[in-house]
Amino acid sequence: MATGNAGKIREILDVLRGLPVTFRQLSEFPDLPEAIESGATFVENAELKARHYAGLTGLVTLAEDSGIEVDALGGAPGVYSARFAGRHGDDAANNAKVIELLRDVPAEKRTGRFRCVCVLASADTLIATAEGTIEGRILDWPRGTGGFGYDPLFYVPELGCTTAEISREEKNRISHRGKALRAMRKRIEEWLARI
């Protein structure tokens, strides 16, 4: 699994548990150089990460790239979601920047989506890709303590709450990453049946 993000690791294992494979985490390979996410799209970044770590470990690698696309910001932060405010993984700063940029945007124009792309690859072969999205609105103040990243700002009208206010199981059922991982699970099962 080409991520060190504990929240993402939990979600990946929750959805892919039971597959006849052994999952290895990046923390088991502490000396690996970090992948450079230089792609212009989620697909490109996920593939870069998967091939990078597959090449270094010799293991088939599952990578994902995901983020939030805010319509009023022209789709930003997009692929820069984790480092939108500058430092990678600073959720509080990233959320604060989105709140500030949307300060004068009315609620009805605060639409957006979470998008996730998963890639399974070896160093030289793209094995499978899968994508998932969830539509919602961006709040002007964080709500909820669950999840991570932009979850406290992402309001899902059908649920009447943010993705930080729902259980982990519910989030895995409806989230962009949950959808992408369920689609990837099917592709992994198909791939395993062929090898």
Nearest CA-CA partner of 62 in 113, 136, 11: 11
The widest CA-to-CA distance across the chain, in whole angstroms, is: 54
Q: Considering the candidates 65, 71, 104, 151, report the single residue annotated as catalytic.
A: 65
Task: Count helices and strands (H / E) in the chain.
Answer: 5, 5
3-state secondary structure 61-127: EEEEEEEEEEHHHCCCEHHHHHHCCCCCCCHHHHHHHHHHHCCCCCHHHCEEEEEEEEEEECCCCEE
Query: 65 catalytic, yes or no?
Result: yes
Catalytic residue annotation = 65
